[in-house]
A and B are shown apart, each in its own frame.
Chain A
Amino acid sequence: MAEMTKRAPGGALRRNRIRSRWNDRVFDGVAALILILAVLAVAYPLIYVVSASFSSTTAVMAGRVWFLPVEPSLVAYEAVFKYDSIMTGYLNSFIYMAVGTLINLVLTTLCAFCLSRKDFYGRGIVGGMVLFTMLFNAGLVPNYLLIKNLRLYDTMWAVILPGAMSAWHVILMRTYFSSSIPEELYEAAGIDGCPVWRQLTSILLPLSGPILAVIGLYCAVGIWNSYFDAFLYLSDKKLFPLQVVLRNILILNQMDMTVTADLRDMATRRGMSYLLKYAVIVVSSLPLLMIYPFVQKYFVKGIMVGSVKG
Chain B
Amino acid sequence: MTGVNSLKRGGGWESVRKKLVKSLPYYALILLPLAYMLVFRYYPMLGAQIAFKDYKVRLGIWASPWVGMKHFNTFFKSANSWLIIKNTLVISLYSLLASFPIPIILAVCLNESNVKWFKKSVQMITYMPYFISTVVLVSMILQFTDISSGIVSQMYRLFGAQAPNVMGEVGSFRSLYVWTGVWQTMGYSAIVYLAALSGVPLDLYEAAKVDGASKMRKILSVDLPYIAPTIITLFILNAGSILSVGFEKIYLMQNNFNTPVSEVISTYVYKVGILNNSFSFSTAVGLFNSVVNLVMLLVVNQLSRRISDVSVF
Q: Write the residues of chain A forming the contact surface with B, with a CB cutoff of 8 angstroms.
A: 1-2, 5, 16-17, 20, 23-24, 27-28, 31-32, 34-35, 38-39, 41-43, 45-46, 48-49, 60-63, 65-66, 106-108, 110-111, 113-114, 117, 119-122, 126, 129-131, 133, 135-146, 150, 161-162, 164-165, 170, 195-197, 200, 221, 224-228, 232, 243, 246-247, 250-251, 271, 274, 277-278, 281, 284-285, 288-289, 292-293, 296, 299-300, 303-304, 306-307, 310
Contacts and interface: CB of A to CB of B under 8 A. Distances in A.
A218 to B, nearest CB: 11
Given A32-B113, A43-B125, A63-B149, 18 more contacts: A31-B113, A34-B106, A34-B109, A38-B122, A41-B183, A42-B129, A42-B187, A61-B149, A129-B34, A140-B283, A142-B45, A145-B44, A165-B33, A225-B133, A247-B135, A251-B142, A277-B139, A281-B143
B252 interface: yes
Contacts of B34: 111, 126, 129
B269 A20 contact: no
A45 B140 contact: yes
Interface in B7-63: 16, 19-20, 22-23, 25-30, 32-34, 36-37, 39-45, 47-48, 50, 61
Given A61-B149, A142-B47, A120 B23 contact: yes
By Cβ-Cβ distance, the 8 closest A-B pairs, closest first, are A139-B286, A250-B139, A138-B44, A196-B25, A142-B47, A225-B133, A111-B33, A142-B44
Contacts of A278: 143
B110 A35 contact: yes
Contact of B109 (A31, A61, A122, A250): A31
A296 B128 CA distance: 9
Contacts of A139: 44, 48, 269, 282-283, 286-287, 289-290
A20 B214 contact: yes
Nearest to B266: A140
Contacts of A144: 273-274
B279 A136 contact: no
A195 B294 CA distance: 40
Interface of B: 16, 19-20, 22-23, 25-30, 32-34, 36-37, 39-45, 47-48, 50, 61, 105-106, 108-110, 112-113, 118, 121-122, 124-129, 131-136, 138-140, 142-144, 146, 148-149, 151, 153-154, 157, 183, 186-188, 191-192, 195-196, 211-212, 214-216, 230, 233, 237, 240, 247-248, 252, 266, 269-270, 273-274, 279, 282-283, 286-287, 289-290, 293-294, 297, 312-313
Given A45-B144, A145-B47, A296 B30 contact: no
Contact of B248 (A17, A61, A221, A227): A227
B48 A20 contact: no
A134 B279 CA distance: 23
A285 B212 CA distance: 49
B287 A20 contact: no
A232 B50 CA distance: 20
Name which of B135, B188, B215 has the most chain A CB atoms within 10 A of its CB: B135
Contact of A285 (B19, B40, B131): B131
Contact of B20 (A121, A164, A196): A121
B135 A246 contact: yes
Contacts of B270: 140
Contacts of B240: 135
A224 B121 CA distance: 25
Contact of B153 (A63, A197, A246, A288): A63
B62 to A, nearest CB: 11
Contacts of A5: 212
19 contacts: A27-B215, A28-B112, A35-B106, A35-B113, A38-B106, A60-B149, A61-B149, A110-B33, A111-B30, A113-B29, A120-B26, A121-B22, A133-B37, A135-B240, A138-B286, A139-B269, A141-B282, A145-B50, A274-B143
A42 B131 contact: no
B165 to A, nearest CB: 16
A50 B274 CA distance: 37
Given A39-B121, A138-B47, A141-B50, A2 B127 contact: no
B276 to A, nearest CB: 11
Contacts of A131: 313
A203 to B, nearest CB: 14
A284 B133 contact: yes
Contact of A38 (B126, B149, B233): B126
Contacts of A310: 233, 237, 312
